[in-house]
Amino acid sequence: MFELGPVERRLTDETKKHPICAALIDPEDFDPKQAAETARKSIKAGVSLILVGGSTLASQGRLDDVVKEIKSHMQRDKSQVPIVLFPGNITGVSRFADAILFSSLLNSTNPYFIIGAQALGAVEVYKSKIESIPMAYLVFGNNSTTSFIGQVNPIPASKPNLAVIYALAAKYLGMRTLYLEAGSGSGEPISQETIQAVKNVYDGLLIVGGGITGPDAASKAAKAGADVLVIGNLLQSSGFEGKLKQIVAAAGP
């Protein structure tokens, strides 16, 4: 039978209490040392989860190095925050992580991103023995790297009902996690209306990301029903910790 692994159980338990924040580290943007330092600062600012991945990651070796470095720093600091992979392709698997968001890009026009890459990457996940968390991934708008690479048929921001039909499909397919993605650096985060509409029909873990750069956007997404808020781009600006702390406080209890 299917059972929740420790990371999914932890996230489910934590988000029952209040929404949490995740720091997304793209190994294309940080070398291993910078990645570890960014993860450390993010945890200090209050994030509950470190995500590692990106849409254009070409080197699995680079991913391994980044995850290993983050992990060794976290062990030194005795941090229990999980490191979870957020893969954009088959290069996104590392046996050094705690879990993987094993995702299907449901609104891609290319079956490769819906099930092809998953089949090709599955053996690597099996061999690595890391925990797999099934996830539906939905991309809004057509201006992001993830939208371009994933050959997405983008959900228009003004059509929450289109997100709802995919959320229902994800639920009926047994996907326990759903990620609403506005695209990294988006000027238009996922709207409250969309988050609420999805939350009404979907009872799994609801992740929201793209363009959350301040406490206002975080508070809106959390109030609308997001369980996990993903913060990526902001981590590249110097002195991001102050803003991240405000975001965590705005999202939290």
Interacting residues of 2 by C-beta distance below 8 A, sequence separation 6+: none
Judged by CB, which is closer to ligand 1GP: 54, or 82? Answer: 54
Binding of residue 209 to ligand 1GP (CB under 6 A): yes
Could you tell me the smallest distance in angstroms from the CB atom of residue 144 to ligand 1GP?
Answer: 8
Interacting residues of 46 by C-beta distance below 8 A, sequence separation 6+: 21, 244, 245, 248, 249, 252
Interacting residues of 147 by C-beta distance below 8 A, sequence separation 6+: 139, 141, 154, 183
Binding of residue 49 to ligand 1GP (CB under 6 A): no
Of 137, 49, 145, give the one whose Cα is nearest residue 97: 49
Judged by CB, which is closer to ligand 1GP: 75, or 238? Answer: 238
Could you tell me the smallest distance in angstroms from the CB atom of residue 51 to ligand 1GP?
Answer: 8
Q: Which of 184, 191, 194, 219 binds ligand 1GP (CB under 6 A)?
A: 184
Binding of residue 231 to ligand 1GP (CB under 6 A): yes
Q: Do residues 144 and 187 lie in contact, with contact meaning Cβ atoms separated by under 8 Å?
A: no
Interacting residues of 61 by C-beta distance below 8 A, sequence separation 6+: none
Residue 211 Ramachandran class (φ > 0 left, ψ -120 to 50 alpha, else beta): left
Binding of residue 215 to ligand 1GP (CB under 6 A): no
Q: Which of 211, 222, 243, 250 binds ligand 1GP (CB under 6 A)?
A: 211
Q: Which of 50, 218, 221, 230 binds ligand 1GP (CB under 6 A)?
A: 230
Distance CA 23, CA 41 (A): 10
Which pair of structure tokens corresponds to residue 154? 């983008």
Site string for ligand 1GP, 108-127 (x = CB under 6 A): --------------------
Which residue number places its CB atom closest to ligand 1GP? 209
Could you tell me the smallest distance in angstroms from the CB atom of residue 232 to ligand 1GP?
Answer: 3
Judged by CB, which is closer to ligand 1GP: 134, or 150? Answer: 150
Q: Do residues 39 and 50 lie in contact, with contact meaning Cβ atoms separated by under 8 Å?
A: yes
Binding of residue 5 to ligand 1GP (CB under 6 A): no
Binding of residue 210 to ligand 1GP (CB under 6 A): yes
Distances (CA, A) of 220 to 19, 139, 239: 12, 19, 24
Could you tell me the smallest distance in angstroms from the CB atom of residue 126 to ligand 1GP?
Answer: 26
Interacting residues of 166 by C-beta distance below 8 A, sequence separation 6+: 106, 107, 136, 138, 155
Could you tell me the smallest distance in angstroms from the CB atom of residue 231 to ligand 1GP?
Answer: 5
- Site residues, ligand 1GP (CB under 6 A): 24, 146, 181, 184-186, 209-212, 230-234
